[in-house]
Amino acid sequence: MGGWGEFVAAFAAFLLSHTLPARPAMRRPLAAALGERGYLLAYSLVSLGMLAWLVAAAGRAPYLELWPYAPWQAWVTNLLMPLVCLLVAFGIAAPNPLSFGGRAAGFDPQRPGIAGVARHPLLLAIALWAVGHAVPNGNLAHLLLFGAFAGFAALGMQIIDRRKRRLLGEEAWTRLAAHSSGWPLSALLDGRWRPTGPPSALRLCASLLLWLLFLAAHPGAIGMSPLPY
């Protein structure tokens, strides 16, 4: 199987691997069998595997150019990726009951941490990653790939907000989200949130290491350097 057929199959497998295990009817028995951490680890590994297949399938799909490559386009990716790495490093395992996978323990609504920057930092990271990679990949398959990821991330933010409102209740959700940002930095811009204290040195180092890892692994994994040329 190759061409558009593989691309469609990879897309379908990716979507199913994200939607089916997250449904309560499947999630509960899986989490009971594997434990919550085991479930999240298995879910993440399957997701990464499906993502790798989807990216490879997009590269093997018929090439239909929509716009030509220009060196400046790679700068869009290279300027956005450090922000992506910061969002990932500060979003993973951070106290944030307002988003998926975020823990409630340790969350202070008056000092929401990364939620003051973005209520859904990992989804925002996906959106920025997708936009940054769509610009220098001006062909139909990659535009469908990265456009879908950006749309999925934006829609996911709205879906999670609605779900959290329902699960937590309107009063609790409003209290917890009072100083968070639905849109990136909106709480900072309208004065609802101000940074308190220096950022975590450990998470800053993690974001730097993640960015360097992406730069080092990109040529081998994708077949080309991410740097402008």
Give me the residue label for tokens 């434990």.
35
**Mean pLDDT confidence for 33-56:** 83
pLDDT at 27 over 80: no
Encode pLDDT of 136-181 as tens digits: 999 999 999 999 999 999 999 999 999 999 989 999 999 999 999 9
Q: Assign 18 a pLDDT band (cuts: 50, 70, 90).
A: confident
Residue 175 half-sphere exposure, CB side, CA atoms within 13 Å? Answer: 7
**Mean pLDDT confidence for 200-224:** 91
> What is d(CA 153, CA 146) in angstroms, rounded to the nearest whole number?
11
pLDDT at 128 over 90: yes
Give the pLDDT confidence score for residue 36 in this predicted structure. 72
pLDDT at 204 over 90: yes
> What is d(CA 131, CA 80) in angstroms, rounded to the nearest whole number?
9
**How does DSSP classify residue 199?**
P
Encode pLDDT of 45-73 as tens digits: 888 888 889 988 998 999 999 999 998 99
Cβ atoms within 10 Å, residue 173: 18
**Mean pLDDT confidence for 105-129:** 94
Q: Assign 1 a pLDDT band (cuts: 50, 70, 90).
A: low
> What is d(CA 165, CA 120) in angstroms, rounded to the nearest whole number?
14
pLDDT at 23 over 80: no
Q: Is 91 helix (H, G, I), strand (E, B) or coil?
A: helix
Give the pLDDT confidence score for residue 228 in this predicted structure. 80
pLDDT at 187 over 90: yes
**Mean pLDDT confidence for 210-219:** 92
Give the pLDDT confidence score for residue 40 in this predicted structure. 75
**How does DSSP classify residue 35?**
-
Torsions phi, psi for 103 (to 5 deg): -90, 145
Encode pLDDT of 71-107 as tens digits: 899 999 999 999 999 999 999 889 999 998 778 889 9
Q: Is 190 helix (H, G, I), strand (E, B) or coil?
A: coil
Residues 157 and 86 sit within 8 Å (Cβ to Cβ):
no
More confident residue, 104 or 187: 187
Contacts of 195 (CB under 8 A, 6+ apart): 116
